[in-house]
Amino acid sequence: MGCAVSNAAAMQARRVRHHRSVTWIDTHCHLDAPEFDADRSAVLLRARAAGVNMLVLPAVMAAHFDTVRELAHVHDLAYALGIHPLYVDSAADTDLGRLAEALDRHQADPRLVAVGEIGLDHFVPGLDPARQERFYLAQLKLARVAGLPVILHVRRSADALMSGLRRVEVRGGIAHAFNGSRVQAEAFIGRGFALGFGGALSFDRALQIRRLAADLPGSALVLETDAPDIPPQWLYRTAEQRAAGATSRNEPAELPRIAQTLAALRGQGLQDIAALTAGNARRVLPALDLLMKTQRLRGASGVSGTG
Ligand SMILES: [Zn+2]
């Protein structure tokens, strides 16, 4: 009896420990965005209180390379360096050289986990498609030289991105805010990519995204907020509401609630989704895996002897 009780207590303790060891990973958060200037520390406190203990901060322009790196170092996070397709038109040609130089200088930085955010945007009008393509291919080559995976921006551009990946092979990565077809999804998965899902999942009308999230193999899914962008349905404000002063800023603390939508779509438990998506993120971003292992060792030595 006493034994059974202590066994039950031990199991309970194990469960609690297991529960506490679950870490949500926000694989895509623009923590450097000006929307967070007023309260960045509070945003991170809320994320950690929600169990979102790791964020990947992709850069969008050369002027922010130092910012995302510093944020990652100050706050024990990870970062990526790249030039976003929506910022290619305002970038200088020499920014590709700045990226090459930064990747070289920081190649031993354990927090640098990918080249990104790079890609192609064929949705926003008025962008120079040839220039986007040139920057995309050049950045794929830099990723290959650095031996890093890539974080891809995909908007109406899945096939064009894929043809770039066939020309310049890289070691996979994440197709972020994925919104292509099942066939396109499988092409990315076949090249070692995971697909990023976030707030868009929470909209009933996002049929294609919800179907993919429900049907794709679990090994293909990672979670992201893209904060401050892509607010989930419960934060969404219409253009009219925004004109009247309402804001709809997304933040990393929303990730577990977004994951509830994914868990419901897949008929899986929330803890399973946490473990699955975190494991996937660590698989496609090997440097992130190493970083989190050393974090855990540091954490373990920090509490040793406290019983
Ligand atoms: Zn982004």
302 Cα: distance to centroid of ligand 1 (angstroms): 34
Q: Which residues surround ligand 1, an ion (CB under 5 A)?
A: 117, 226
User: Ligand 1 center to residue 167 CA distance, Å?
Assistant: 24
For residue 239, how far is its CA from the centre of ligand 1 (angstroms)?
21
Alpha carbons 285 and 196: distance in angstroms, whole number: 13
Residue 37 lies in a domain: yes
Residue 111 CA, ligand 1 centroid: distance in Å? 18
> What's the pLDDT at 9?
52
Output the CA 13–ligand 1 centroid distance in Å: 39
121 touches 128 (CB < 8 A): no
Structure tokens at 48: 């950690």
Q: Is the sign of the CA dihedral 294, 296, 299, 300 positive or negative?
A: negative
The reply to whether 257 falls in a domain is yes
Ligand 1 centre to CA of 266 (Å) is 25
How many A from CA of 304 to the centre of ligand 1? 38
| Cα 29 to ligand 1 centroid, rounded to whole Å | 7
The reply to whether 253 falls in a domain is yes
pLDDT at residue 301 in the model: 64
Q: Kindly state the helix (H) or strand (E) to which residue 223 belongs, with its residue range.
A: strand 221-223
Residues contacting residue 52 through CB under 8 Å, at least 6 positions apart: 23, 24, 25, 26, 252, 253, 255, 256
Give how many domains the chain has, as a whole number.
1
Q: How far is the CA of 16 from the centre of ligand 1 (A)?
A: 34
CA of 278 relative to ligand 1 center, distance in Å: 19
State the pLDDT at residue 298: 80
**Residue-level pLDDT at 242:** 83
In the reported structure, the alpha carbon of residue 117 is separated from the centroid of ligand 1 by a whole-number distance in angstroms of 6
Those residues with Cβ within 8 angstroms of residue 294's Cβ, 6 or more apart along the chain or in another chain:
110
Q: Residue 271 is inside which H or E element, if any?
A: helix 270-284
231 CA from centroid of ligand 1 (Å):
13
If you measure from the C-alpha of residue 118 to the centroid of ligand 1, how many angstroms do you get, rounded to a whole number?
9
Residue at 16 is within a domain: no
Under 8 Å CB-to-CB from 4, ≥6 apart: which residues? none
CATH code of the domain covering residue 139:
3.20.20.140
Ligand 1 center–CA 69 separation, angstroms = 16
SS3 285: coil
Q: From ligand 1's centre to the CA of 226, what distance in Å?
A: 5
d(CA 30, ligand 1 centre) in Å: 7
DSSP state of 273: H
For the chain, 307 residues long, give each residue's pLDDT as a single digit of tens: 344 445 555 555 444 444 455 789 999 999 999 999 999 999 999 999 999 999 999 999 999 999 999 999 999 999 999 999 999 999 999 999 999 999 999 999 999 999 999 999 999 999 999 999 999 999 999 999 999 999 999 999 999 999 999 999 999 999 999 999 999 999 999 999 999 999 999 999 999 999 999 999 999 999 999 999 999 999 888 888 888 877 789 999 999 999 999 999 999 999 999 999 999 999 999 999 999 999 887 876 654 333 3
DSSP states of 90-158: TS-THHHHHHHHHHHHTTT-TTEEEEEEEEEESSSTT--HHHHHHHHHHHHHHHHHHT--EEEEEES-H
Domain interval for residue 35: 23-302
Determine the distance separating the centroid of ligand 1 and the alpha carbon of 59, expressed in angstroms. Answer: 8
CB under 8 Å to 283, separation ≥6 — which residues?
Answer: 194, 219, 289
Distance, CA of 81 to CA of 88 (rounded, Å)? 14
> Is residue 11 domain-resident?
no
Report the pLDDT value the prediction gives residue 8, as an integer from 0 to 100. Answer: 54
Q: In angstroms, rounded to a whole number, what is the distance separating the alpha carbons of residues 127 and 85? A: 9
Q: pTM of the entire structure?
A: 0.90
For residues 214 and 78, give the distance between their C-alpha atoms in angstroms, rounded to a whole number: 28
